[in-house]
Amino acid sequence: MALFRLYLPFLDDVKAKGVKTAVKAKVDDVFTRITTGMNPTDVRMMLRDDPVGRPNPRLKPHSESFWFHIKPTYYHQLMDGFYPTFRLGWLSTYFFVFEIVTGIYLMIFYTPSPVVAYENMRNLLSNVPFGALMRDLHKLGAEAMVAVVALHMLRTFVTGSYKKPRQFTWVTGVILLGVTLFLSFSGYLLPWDQLSLWAVTIGASMVEAFPPEIVGRTLNLIVRGAPEFGANGLLRFYLGHVVLLPAIGVIALSVHYYKVVIHGHSLPPEAEAVGEDTAKRIPMESRTYFMPKIMTRELAYITGLTGLMILLAAFIYNAPPLEAHADPLITPLHITSPWYFLWLQGMLKVGDKVMWGVILPSGLIGVILLLPYFEVGPSRRYGARRIGLSAAAMSVAALSILSFMGSPWYKVTSSPDQEAVAALLPQTHPGPLREAPWDQLAFGTYQADQWASAPTPALQALLRLYDDKLLAAVGPEQQNPEAIMLVEDWQTNLKKVTLRVVWTNPDGSPHEFSQSVYLHRDSEYSGG
Partner 1 sequence: MTEAASPLPAEAGGSLPLSRREFLYYLWGVSMAVAIAGAAGATIWFALPRFKEGEFGGVVTVPVGELPPPDSEPQPFSAGRFWLVNIGEQTEQDPRQPPVYPLTPGVKALYMVCVHLGCLYKWVPTNDRFECPCHGSKYLKSDARIDGPARRNLDVFVIEAVNANGDVVGRTEPQMGSSEGSSVLITPEVVSLRVDTGRKIVGAPNLKPGGGI
Which residues lie near partner 1 (CB under 8 A)?
198, 201-202, 204-206, 208, 218, 221-222, 225-228, 232, 329-336, 345, 348-353, 411-418, 427, 511, 513
Closest CB 504 distance from partner 1, rounded Å: 13
Among residues 176 and 484, whose Cβ is nearest to partner 1?
A: 484
Among residues 40 and 227, whose Cβ is nearest to partner 1?
A: 227
- Residue type at 458 in one-letter notation: A
Among residues 388 and 408, whose Cβ is nearest to partner 1?
A: 408
* Count of other CB atoms within 10 angstroms of residue 294: 18
Among residues 168 and 513, whose Cβ is nearest to partner 1?
A: 513
Among residues 227 and 320, whose Cβ is nearest to partner 1?
A: 227
Among residues 64 and 352, whose Cβ is nearest to partner 1?
A: 352
Contact of 180 with 218, CB cutoff 8 Å:
no
Closest CB 198 distance from partner 1, rounded Å: 6
Closest CB 455 distance from partner 1, rounded Å: 32
Among residues 170 and 182, whose Cβ is nearest to partner 1?
A: 182
Closest CB 359 distance from partner 1, rounded Å: 14
Among residues 59 and 423, whose Cβ is nearest to partner 1?
A: 423
Among residues 90 and 513, whose Cβ is nearest to partner 1?
A: 513
Cα–Cα dist 490/482, whole Å: 24
The stretches of 209-359 forming alpha helices (DSSP H) are: 213-224, 231-239, 245-263, 295-311, 342-350
User: Largest alpha-carbon pair distance within the chain?
Assistant: 112
Closest CB 247 distance from partner 1, rounded Å: 16
Contact of 179 with 249, CB cutoff 8 Å:
yes
Q: Is 306 exposed, middle or buried (0-12, 13-18, 19+ CB in 10 A)?
A: middle
Give the closest residue to 231 by CA, choosing from 115, 142, 310.
115
Closest CB 503 distance from partner 1, rounded Å: 9
Residue 236: CA atoms inside 13 Å, Cβ hemisphere, count? Answer: 16
Closest CB 227 distance from partner 1, rounded Å: 7
Nearest-10 Cα torsion for 319, 320, 322, 326: -110
Closest CB 327 distance from partner 1, rounded Å: 10
Contact of 427 with 477, CB cutoff 8 Å:
no
SS (H, E, C) 400-437: HHHHHHHCCCCCCCCCHHHHHHHHHCCCCCCHHHHHCC
Cα–Cα dist 214/216, whole Å: 6
Closest CB 515 distance from partner 1, rounded Å: 14
